[in-house]
Amino acid sequence: MKKIIITAAGLAIAGFTIAGCNSNTSTPASPAPASSSALAAPAASSASAASVAPSSALSAPAISVAEQQAVTSAQGYLNLGSGFSAQSLLNQLTSSDGSGFSNSDAEFAINYLKPDWDAQAVMAAKGYLALGGFSSSSLTQQLTSSDGDGFTQAQAEYAVAKVGL
């Protein structure tokens, strides 16, 4: 597991930074510049693996490499703009045809990112409307169907209202 250090500049995870931590948004980690002062130097032995952060820094729970990869993958899917429900994103992340993450790593990523499921439902609804042929009830059914998107009834109703049906 990697040690996370919270600094005024954001989070640092042994070679990665998570941008936007101070603005209540979640974005996937990206490689940090080699000269980043927020990163602790690698420890020489496992006995001294805990890095000493400045006294003003807070320690946060560690995030594993697999969890970080799942976060990055989940963010990539969400950035497609096609609209994922919690269930469809979990299915995509855990499917052998998708990303193939373990259920626990996929669930971690989804909980970490805390997507706006209503906004995701609206994106999905807009995509279906672009195809044409949907009534309010058929779009709601498509959005809530386990064979469709798997949104909750409330999320689907919100989306249908937002797209004007």
pLDDT in tens, 122-142: 999 999 999 999 999 999 999
Average pLDDT over residues 14-43: 38
Whether residue 125 sits in one domain with residue 87: no
Whether residue 54 sits in one domain with residue 7: yes
Compute the CA torsion angle 128, 135, 140, 108 (nearest 10 deg): 10
Tell me: pLDDT of 7 over 60: no
Q: Residue length, the chain?
A: 165
Boundary of a domain, candidates 29, 45, 63: 63
Whether residue 73 sits in one domain with residue 34: no
Closest to 86 measured CA to CA, from 125, 123, 116, 63: 116
Q: Which domain holds residue 148?
A: 117-162
Average pLDDT over the chain reads 76
Min mean pLDDT across 33-37, 85-89, 122-126 is at 33-37
Whether residue 34 sits in one domain with residue 23: yes
Whether residue 6 sits in one domain with residue 57: yes
Whether residue 104 sits in one domain with residue 129: no
Whether residue 42 sits in one domain with residue 58: yes
Whether residue 54 sits in one domain with residue 88: no
Whether residue 53 sits in one domain with residue 9: yes
Closest to 105 measured CA to CA, from 150, 75, 70: 70
Number of domains in the chain: 3
**More confident site: 37 or 95:** 95
* Residue 61 confidence (pLDDT): 75
**More confident site: 80 or 17:** 80
Type of residue at 131: L
* Residue 35 confidence (pLDDT): 36
Average pLDDT over residues 92-96: 95
Whether residue 137 sits in one domain with residue 124: yes
* Residue 39 confidence (pLDDT): 32
Boundary of a domain, candidates 21, 45, 63: 63
Asked whether the CA dihedral 114, 109, 151, 81 is positive or negative, the reply is positive
Whether residue 124 sits in one domain with residue 76: no
Structure tokens at 147: 């064979």
- Determine phi and psi for 16, rounding to 5 degrees: -130, 150
* Residue 32 confidence (pLDDT): 38
**More confident site: 164 or 58:** 164
* Residue 92 confidence (pLDDT): 95
Closest to 163 measured CA to CA, from 132, 114, 149: 132
Please give the Cα distance from 77 to 75 (Å, whole number). Answer: 5
**More confident site: 111 or 147:** 111
- Tokens 């006294």 map to which residue? 55
Average pLDDT over residues 64-91: 97
CATH number at residue 101: 1.10.10
Please give the Cα distance from 102 to 3 (Å, whole number). Answer: 22
pTM given for the model: 0.63
Whether residue 71 sits in one domain with residue 54: no
